[in-house]
Amino acid sequence: MATPQQQLSSSIAALSASIAGLAPGLHPASELVTPTTSIAALRALTGAMFPTVLVRNYDGASTGETQGVYVLDADDSTSPDNDGTIIVAADGGRYKLQIDGGVSLKRFGAKGDGSTDDTRAVLNWIAFVFATGITGYAPAGTYKVTQPVAMDWGPVATTGATFVGDGAAQSVFDLSSVTTSPAWLMTDTTGSDACFYGTFKDIGFIGDVPGPLLQIGNEDYSDAFNEFEIKVQVKNNNTTESACGTELNGLYNCSAFLVSNCHGHGDALRIRQTQFSHIFGSSGNADTAIHLTGGYSYGNTFISHDCEVVNTCVVIDEQNVSQNTWIGGQFVWSNGSGPAVAAINATNGNNNRFVGINLASPGSWTAAGGAVGVLLDNRGVGNYLFGQVTVKPVSGDGDLIVDSVTGNIAQLLFRNNGNSAWGWTRDTSGNLLLIRYNPSTGASIDTPIVIEPSQGVSTFKKASLSGVGFFGAGVSTTRPTVSGAKGGNAALASLIQQLAALGLIADSTTA
């Protein structure tokens, strides 16, 4: 069976033979397709004479795919040559690539061989996609990029654009020659804080920079990416502590499948501001797998995230990180490049929940003092379970905290058989009550024991004590005995002695 390239060659040969056999004037020039070998050859043509041209390869060397058909736009005399979809002919005519579906990065001259500098082709490809809205396709290959790239989504802020590859490990942008961070930045220069509906997936990045390799949004939070779909693999080979694989600065209601690692150092995934988004993937081979810091990050769901080959899986050090949930996945923090710390080190934040995580390393789940705002399912850290309370002290945290809004009544209830229950209750005046009452009616059964902080006293209706001591005296568990004759001073002396033993009086009497 003939290959596509062989079929193309046969078609061109047949077309050439057909053209050669035409009688003069039989067909107008607009109906003829002129074959040529490269973009350079296309530029050398006279557009008026050859309005439709089939370009076999970009630079004459086979890339495994045909460059495409170019048609002269007789009404266009101003569009610049972009080395790909618009080519200016020798007579100034504008040839335009006929596109069916997406436009390949190789149409702009990219080689994808890992050694040729494809920077110009990549930049022209990005600019074309943003200018036209046509899907950008990066075929499998390694595209060498030698300068920082800033993808400005501003031109498509309200309509979106799509960039897609053949797989995150197949279509790879090699930024190893770039030395400044971020090596690849996605931004929106419109200043509207509203960029919608973008897709960037099945593409990978590799590089070596001391900060973020891939950064989505500026660090001043001036960008807002909404309803984006992102699926990438990022490998930052830098060995400094400031290194970062992927940094997120302003994702809202997005779906992000991120595979990020950082050569054993820094943060694999750094989230500085992201809200109500779904985050999947793997973060590892770093000091920290996921670092939540900087700005407001809340309402996010991390689904089946794999955090391994790190010293700490999750670090939270910003008070405005709240109401985030990790569901499933695996945390391994004992095989990083440095000393193992813990699965979670949260020194700030609140109500961040971890549910059904496989905690696969030995040692503490949370760092010393690092369980602030953490609710760790089935591990007894800030956690409640239906039917029971499980409490496991963490260094720096209370064993059990029961709280309510100031002014409301807080109650801890212990039910008995029948219509009675014991309750520890704080009333609206701040007093603590131990009370037995009917939970069905809410009526008290006995007069409660009341501890009044303002008075420093406890009020009892009645009490039965098995031992007693007053004012620091030792507790006596036997009933005091008064002896001696009542008619003399012996009984009185015995009474004074017993009262002093209980601590009720100080005996300063004399003989």
Is the alpha carbon torsion for 404, 410, 412, 416 positive or negative? negative
pLDDT band at 75 (very low <50, low <70, confident <90, very high): very high
> Is the pLDDT at 394 greater than 90, yes or no?
no
> Is the pLDDT at 19 greater than 80, yes or no?
no
pLDDT of residue 276: 98
**In this structure, are residues 38 and 68 in contact, taking their beta carbons and an 8 Å threshold?**
no
Give the β-pairing of 325-327 and 352-355: parallel
pLDDT in tens, 428-438: 777 888 888 78
Percent of the chain exceeding pLDDT 70 equals: 85
- Between residues 43 and 192, which one has the greater pLDDT? 43
> Is the pLDDT at 243 greater than 90, yes or no?
yes
d(CA 331, CA 310): 9
pLDDT in tens, 484-495: 888 878 888 888
> Is the pLDDT at 22 greater than 70, yes or no?
no
pLDDT in tens, 207-240: 999 999 999 999 999 999 999 999 999 999 999 9
pLDDT in tens, 348-375: 999 999 999 999 998 888 998 898 999 8
Please give the mean pLDDT across all residues of the chain.
Answer: 85
Least confident of 268-272, 395-399, 440-444: 395-399
pLDDT of residue 48: 84
| E strand map for 67-217 | 68-73, 86-88, 94-97, 103-104, 113-117, 136-138, 141-144, 149-152, 162-165, 171-175, 184-187, 195-196, 199-207, 212-216
Burial class (CB in 10 A: 0-12, 13-18, 19+), 398: exposed
Q: What is the mean pLDDT of residues 326-334?
A: 96
> Is the pLDDT at 18 greater than 50, yes or no?
no
pLDDT of residue 66: 76
**In this structure, are residues 195 and 154 in contact, taking their beta carbons and an 8 Å threshold?**
yes
**In this structure, are residues 114 and 136 in contact, taking their beta carbons and an 8 Å threshold?**
no
d(CA 18, CA 23): 10
Residue 214 in tokens: 């891939």
pLDDT of residue 466: 80
Q: What is the mean pLDDT of residues 397-422?
A: 63
Cα torsion 71, 73, 74, 76 to 10°: value is -160
- Between residues 431 and 125, which one has the greater pLDDT? 125
Q: What is the mean pLDDT of residues 415-422?
A: 76
pTM as predicted:
0.69
pLDDT band at 200 (very low <50, low <70, confident <90, very high): very high
Least confident of 167-181, 190-204, 274-288, 409-423: 409-423
Angle at CA of residue 228, ends 226 and 230, nearest 5°: 145
Quick check: helix, strand or coil at residue 227?
Answer: coil
Residue 156 in tokens: 């498509």
pLDDT of residue 487: 81
CATH architecture of 103-377: 3 Solenoid (2.160)
d(CA 183, CA 38): 32
pLDDT of residue 251: 96
